[in-house]
A and B are shown apart, each in its own frame.
Chain A
Amino acid sequence: MHVLSRPSLRKVIHSAIPFIAFTVFVLPLVLSEPAHAIPAFARKYGLRCSACHETWPILNNFGLKFRDNGYQIMDDRDAPIWQNPSYWPATFRMTPLWHRFSNLQAVDTYAAGGVSGAAIQRITSTGVDLSGLDFLTGGTLYKNISFFLTPSADSTGAFHFETAATRFDNLFGSTWLNVKVGKFELNNLLSEKREVGLTGDGGEYQTYHFIPVGDGNIFGQMGDNQLGIEYLGHSYNDRTRVSAALLDSDDGNVNLTLGSNSYTGFFTFDQAFDAGKWDVQRVGAYAMVGQAATYYKTTGGVPIPGSGVNNQSFSRIGLTTLFYLGPHFDFSFVTQHGQDNAWFGQGYGDAVATDGNGGVTCTGPTATTPGCPPNATPGTTLPVTARAPIWNGYTMEARYIYSPQLIFIGRFEAERMQQQATLGVPQNLGNINLWDIIARWNPFMTNRAGLALQAEYTVLHQIGTGPTVGLTTANLNENELLLATDFDF
């Protein structure tokens, strides 16, 4: 067996750098061909994926309209009765990847004879890994009746239903009357479920998930799919869109495990404008207002799932924009002004969590299981220093679309505390900065399958939430590098 010596290995690596650079940066530009269709819907309609997606899975304006019409192009041939009987509206998606993850951790230090203390050190690990599996099925059951179902597994193969919704569209022949019921993505103009990021930190929008340090409100999660019923109305050309959803305040968890007697409303409005050669520009706003439980009745000291009461309020409001600067460049901006009731700020709200901080499996509140959220049992009072936590979030995402098969994305997110939940806590505790850079190339796409090669680098910085050693708490500093093959069939 021929083994390379170190110098010759180095020489090989050096000589390979131009080849790798050529492969990553030049070859995509040369080989990018017209994008074809993605599976499922593209197979049905014969349209290329680029018809609906800027790059899969990000929707363009036509894709947004297609989705708002209940996965119909409105040609009177949308119902499955018109399809070849062998057509099956399903797509598998999975992402084998190479991953480098680096963060700070509290690490034991040793002296002769054993552990002598602890120190904060950076741990970096690399290796080939897997994403979860999405099994995406959706389409029409009948004209103007459609469904979407996504059984989804995490990387260990544990399944849950990411989406399961039935839609009734164009009721009474009006595009302004559409109703959806089940578990579904909220009507976010900048869709987290369709973002391209694949890293742990970059794969979700921080603004959609941010809660202050120590806050117990598990529901204020705009990025998670939620259980409820949604009304959507839109103009024929989809320039104007409005939605209102009534949601269970249990963050999409099934079996009524949490405060199932509390509800949340989520309202959106957006308006697009014909800007001539600058394409369609869209601006909108959203508001989430709701209540969630802070007190669970107990048996033997252990909270009873579904017994949540003593509802307290929270809100998330913000603006969304989607600006196109011609066909190749677009820019999204989302803001959020969030506020939770002081009870949430003190950690109440999730006493029946199945997995508390630090991997602790919670079977009761803090009083019975250290590390788990507290329960606002009768007689509980808030400390005098307790206040409603308030914060502001900003997400900016810019995309350069060289062709539907090659896209570059840059994202910056900032979450800033305006008022901490407890008087005296440093103003910037929990503030987040995130940077995410993505290059995604689809060497081919057909209406049978798709494959993307993706390179992504993410940096997440959060103040005061890193490891603690003694009296010192470090900032959270994580960075991730990912090289992935993202395929669907």
Chain B
Amino acid sequence: MRTALQKWALAVGAAAFFALPLVARAQVTTVEIGSRDNIESHVDGYTGHVKDAAYDYRRYCVSCHGPLGDGNGEVAAWFDPAMWPKPRDFQLGIFKCRSTPSGTLPVDQDLFDTIARGMDRSAMPPWSQFTRYQRANLVAYIKHFSPRFVSEKPGTPITIPAEPEVTPERIKAGRDVFARVQCWKCHGVQGMGNGPSAATLTDDQGRPIEAFNFTSGARPKCGDTDRDIYRIFMTGLDGTPMPSFADNIKPDEAWDLVFYLRTFMPQPSKERELAKTMHLEPVNPNAPAGQQ
């Protein structure tokens, strides 16, 4: 039998065990980050250097992402997650928009593209006016905040097969995939981001997060081409409830799903035109499997 003192000691010890890493996280210093100053990026024909991005980071990025890259810039406190997501914590080394499998680091090109594209429905503007040289340097700068970029290699970008021709059959097949992998639970049966789970969604840090409303006319955060949408559900959006479906969906099915999602989106598309002639009904969550 353990005594009360032993129980207390065990509890305190356990608490300390789990809390210490958090304390260590809170003590990340410029010295520690500075030790990674030699990290480089290699993208678009440029080699990016940390020191060459310091001025631009301070001018353009620091108010949101903070001097330590932890997402605690001076204005971060004012961001209402329901309206604008909190700035990315670069120290975690977790990024939504990747071409690499879920859980792996992005390649430099992913960060390079994200800077220019921005993040829709967030305070992250498209910094497309930067030169490629500036962006390459900023990629190195972003990487130097996280020790992951020292200890791990980036993932291998997924292969995206050539886009097939859109057909009514493919759109119908996409609807089946939408039902089978239960996209509707978050995104709703009509893609309006109002599925039964939508109100409960939080990101990895417990902050409320919205499911994407395909009908709003907004652009998906990680790009709005068909290939971008394909990539999103084959890599997932790390740090959010959007998982990777790489293990559940075959590449051909992924394209079907892209075509089906396009029918929700108000932008003119062949998929929308076809959907009108098909009189496509939304998925029925209660229908038996395979009987949509």
Contacts and interface: CB of A to CB of B under 8 A. Distances in A.
Interface of A: 34-37, 45-48, 50-51, 61-62, 64-66, 73-77, 82, 236-239, 274-277, 279-280, 327-328, 404, 447
Interface stretch (B71-79, B240-248, B269-277): B71-79
B125 A238 contact: no
Interface in B96-126: 116, 118-126
Interface in B39-63: 46, 52, 55-56, 58-60, 62-63
A275 B131 contact: yes
A279 to B, nearest CB: 6
A61 B67 CA distance: 23
A257 to B, nearest CB: 41
Contact of B59 (A35, A45, A238, A447): A35
Contacts of A65: 128-129
B131 A279 contact: yes
Interface of B: 46, 52, 55-56, 58-60, 62-64, 67, 74-75, 78-79, 83-84, 116, 118-129, 131-134, 216, 218-219
A280 B218 contact: no
Given A77-B83, A274-B131, A47 B120 contact: no
A37 B124 CA distance: 15
Given A34-B62, A35-B59, A76 B121 contact: yes
A313 B225 CA distance: 50
A74 B218 contact: no
A48 B46 CA distance: 28
Contact of B63 (A46, A275, A328): A46
A77 B221 CA distance: 13
Contacts of B55: 327-328
Contact of A274 (B60, B62, B132, B216): B132
Contacts of B125: 45, 47, 62, 66, 73-75
Given A51-B60, A77-B123, 13 more contacts: A36-B74, A46-B75, A47-B125, A48-B60, A48-B62, A50-B59, A51-B63, A64-B129, A75-B125, A237-B128, A276-B131, A327-B56, A447-B74
Given A50-B60, A236-B128, A76 B120 contact: yes
8 contacts: A45-B125, A47-B123, A50-B60, A62-B129, A75-B121, A76-B121, A77-B123, A274-B131
Contacts of A238: 128-129
Contact of B64 (A35, A46, A327): A46
A51 B67 CA distance: 15
B59 A279 contact: no
Nearest to A51: B60
The main secondary structure of chain B at its interface with chain A is loop
Contacts of A447: 63, 74-75
B121 A34 contact: no
Given A37-B75, A75-B120, A236-B128, A47 B218 contact: no
Could you say which of B78, B120, B122, B123 has the most chain A C-beta atoms within 10 Å of its C-beta?
B123
A75 to B, nearest CB: 6
Given A37-B75, A73-B125, A75-B122, A51 B131 contact: no
B127 to A, nearest CB: 7
A404 B123 CA distance: 21
A47 B124 contact: no
A395 B275 CA distance: 59
A408 to B, nearest CB: 17
B266 to A, nearest CB: 11
Nearest to A274: B131
B129 A46 contact: no
Contacts of B60: 47-48, 50-51, 62
B131 A280 contact: yes
A46 B78 contact: yes
Nearest to B133: A276
Nearest to A63: B129
Contacts of A47: 60, 63-64, 75, 123, 125
Contacts of B74: 36, 447
Contacts of B67: 34
Nearest to A48: B63
A35 to B, nearest CB: 7
B101 to A, nearest CB: 28
B71 to A, nearest CB: 12
B132 to A, nearest CB: 6
B131 A46 contact: no
Nearest to B52: A277
The 3 residue pairs across chains A and B that have the minimum distance between CB atoms: A46-B75, A73-B125, A237-B128
Contacts of A77: 83-84, 121-123
Contacts of B64: 46-47
Nearest to B61: A51
A378 B67 CA distance: 72
B129 A82 contact: no
Contacts of B59: 34-35, 48, 50-51, 327, 404
A75 B125 CA distance: 6
Contacts of A62: 60, 125, 127, 129
B126 A46 contact: no
B219 A76 contact: yes
Nearest to B119: A75
B131 A74 contact: no
Contacts of A239: 129
Contacts of A35: 59
